[in-house]
Amino acid sequence: MTGTKQSNQMWGGRFASGPDAVMEEINASIDFDRKLYAQDIAGSRAHAAMLHKQKILSAADYQAIDNGLLTVLREIEDGQFTFSRALEDIHMNIEARLAELIGAPAGRLHTARSRNDQVAVDFRLWVKQTALETAGQIRTLITQLLKRAEEHADTLMPGFTHLQTAQPVTFGHHLMAYVEMFGRDLSRIQDTIARMDESPLGAAALAGTGFDTDRFMTAQALGFREPTRNSIDSVSDRDFALEFLSAAAICAMHLSRMAEEIVIWSTPQFGFVQLSDAFSTGSSIMPQKKNPDAAELVRAKGGRINGALITLLTVMKGLPLSYSKDMQEDKEAVFDASATLELMLAAMSGMTGDMHINKAAMKAAAGSGYSTATDLADWLVREGGLPFREAHHITGRAVALAEKKRCSLSDLTLKDLQAVHPAITEDVFDVLTVEKSVASRKSYGGAAPQEVRRQIDFWKKRLAKNRNAA
């Protein structure tokens, strides 16, 4: 099969023949890196403008190149561009088309750069844009959760440890736990954006260039804070993509936990929430069923993002400096992870926005399982002066008694309780109901509705500031 094709028109000067079909297949990235067309054209336009300002490119050539690049952009956006595998990647596809359009001046665009810094700048621009969009989506989800937490700051629900009823909390308090998690995701993504905000363009193949270029100018034109400082690192670094993937993986893990809770809460056995018809599916055989497919898929999809992170870590591990073709394997994983996270965040915002909260079921469950036992123990410490360990033991006996009588702690009579410990008085009933238990948890960050409202307020302000800053 070798020798039948023409050698590559972009780099084939020393090649007598074209590539084997398998070589073309393994080498070409155009099927996926065409996604970078807008970034590639923006990078080329910034580079050409800089070459012109530095008198490396004549005014006429610059004009021809810039107009030609705009034509290519339009062709791609209008679906009129023919991508060619023989031209390997997006960089050479665009440059070859530019040559068809404007002739000789096209060959001057690649002065003082290489595909190594070109792909580095394209990919950074793409990841930065995606990360900004992710940040926006996380903000939308947080805003949504804050709204629902505010509606349900007083809605009683059982809090769990080991998925066993532990102590009563409110649904608002529970949602605010997720606000904290997604708030950390937001700050992680933003830290990542700040760190990647450096332009590698102008590092050329790996060593910089002998031309009198202005890397600060291209960095600024492309919206980067500054140029990268080391030309070798510029073309061999993919930390920006790895950081995006790690932040995405953590966020996806949070989404999967929330999705799992929605799955549990929407079972008939729990019955805490009901997903809207818009976010459920039916069963083709069991007419009574309403399935939380969107939640299940959000729960599952994190696997792809973890996979993407491991893929890229593995691609980069052990690579010698600077660029190696291995690094072409950086893109598909990131594209897939980004699209996956976008869908997960949208589905979670959708589901939580209109799901119905069954307050009665939550409240009933909040009172089951002797969830106020800790309140009784705390009361014995506070009012009876007992050491906590002893109070814990006495409370255990009260729970055993309630279990025997098949009633809740607050349904035991004073006589029952005094039989367990004589120090117990009528006042104890003030803490044994779920409402009172929750209301008493006024410690900073605790479940008391007033405390939950304080945290909602904190996040509203923080988010408003964050929105202005971004």
Q: Identify whether the C-beta of residue 282 lies closer than 8 Å to the C-beta of residue 308.
A: no
Rank residues 255 and 334 by Cβ distance to ligand ARG and give the closer one.
334
Q: Identify whether the C-beta of residue 272 lies closer than 8 Å to the C-beta of residue 262.
A: no
Per-residue x/- mask for ligand ARG, residues 274 to 313, rule CB under 6 A?
----------------------------------------
Q: Is 162 a catalytic residue?
A: yes
Give the bridge partners for 213, in sequence order. Answer: none
Task: Round to whole Å and give the CA distance between 209 and 375.
Answer: 72
Per-residue x/- mask for ligand ARG, residues 325 to 354, rule CB under 6 A?
x-xx--------------------------
Applying CB under 6 A, the span of 53-61, 115-123, 297-305, 438-446 interacting with ligand ARG comes to 115-123
Given the residues 17, 84, 276, 283, the one annotated as active site: 283
Task: Round to whole Å and give the CA distance between 151 and 68.
Answer: 56
Task: Round to whole Å and give the CA distance between 128 and 105.
Answer: 31
Per-residue x/- mask for ligand ARG, residues 11 to 50, rule CB under 6 A?
------------------x---x-----------------
CA within 13 Å, CB half, 259: 27
- The whole-angstrom distance between residue 68's C-alpha and the CA centroid of its chain comes to 37
Cβ 97 to ligand ARG shortest distance, Å: 16
Phi (first) and psi of residue 294, to 5 degrees? -60, -40
Cβ 120 to ligand ARG shortest distance, Å: 9
Applying CB under 6 A, the span of 111-119, 252-260, 280-288, 435-443 interacting with ligand ARG comes to 111-119
Side chain identity, residue 226:
E
Write out the binding residues for ligand ARG, residues 83-102 only, by CB under 6 A. Answer: 89
Write out the binding residues for ligand ARG, residues 386-405 only, by CB under 6 A. Answer: none
End-to-end CA distance of the chain: 54
By CB under 6 A, residue 116 contacts ligand ARG? yes
Phi (first) and psi of residue 106, to 5 degrees? -55, -35
Sign of CA dihedral 264, 267, 269, 273: positive
Instruction: Tell me, by CB under 6 A, how many residues bind ligand ARG.
Output: 9
Catalytic residues: 162, 283
Which residues of the chain form contacts with ligand ARG (CB under 6 A)? 29, 33, 89, 115-116, 119, 325, 327-328
